[in-house]
Structure 1
């Protein structure tokens, strides 16, 4: 018999990853980049040329190895793939200890 534990909204928090809000936001941005590459039917080499990065970096991005990508850099890559980015800053909910970063990809 397996123990089943209900997950939190952020798997990175459940896994005790440092900065879980940033990790999930970076994952969402990377996922949007990956989807854009697929939709445009780009090879990793073609995507690397558009994004001005090396092919192994495209591979890392697609595989979720995001340690060398900042939020700023991921947003820049999305701009290079013809996506606009809007940033909304608002007061946190009273129940939380601190604010969070949340990415909503259209």
Structure 2
């Protein structure tokens, strides 16, 4: 049995943009926030049910979030879920440091 060779491509920071998906920047931001929610849940040793109770959503919703199904959640709603973990969410607007053009949105989790 032979297998076809696997093609490997180097990716930029945003895999969703590399795949040419619409709203790639927003989807990447949501994925980063969900990854932080997952990290906080694991760090505290919470079950999905307890994490859901803390965030005010059901266990099945937590499961869907952690499996990558979060398109129906707004960035605002995901940021609100972060606050349930005693996190402050701060939005800072500053002049663009790179070349002219559209600014960027980034997410940087800070350790407790």
TM norm. shorter chain > 0.5: yes
- Please name the residue that 1:87 is paired with: 91
Q: Distance in 1 between matches of 2:22 and 2:41?
A: 29
Between structure 1 and structure 2, the one with the greater Rg is 2
Q: CA deviation at 1:7?
A: 1.4
| Structure 1 residue ranges (4+ consecutive) displaced by more than 3 angstroms after TM superposition | 1-4
Matched residue count: 106
- SS of corresponding position for 2:46: coil
Q: Which runs of 5+ in 1 are unaligned?
A: none
- Please name the residue that 2:105 is paired with: 101
| Aligned CA distance change for structure 1 residues 53 and 97 (closer, same or farther; 3 Å) | same
1:8-55, CA deviations, whole angstroms, 9 ceiling, x for partnerless residues? 221110011111111111111101100111111111111111111111
Structure 2-normalised TM-score? Answer: 0.85
- What is the 5 A alignment of 1:1-106? 2-95=6-99, 97-106=101-110
Q: Cα RMSD (Å) of the superposition? A: 1.5
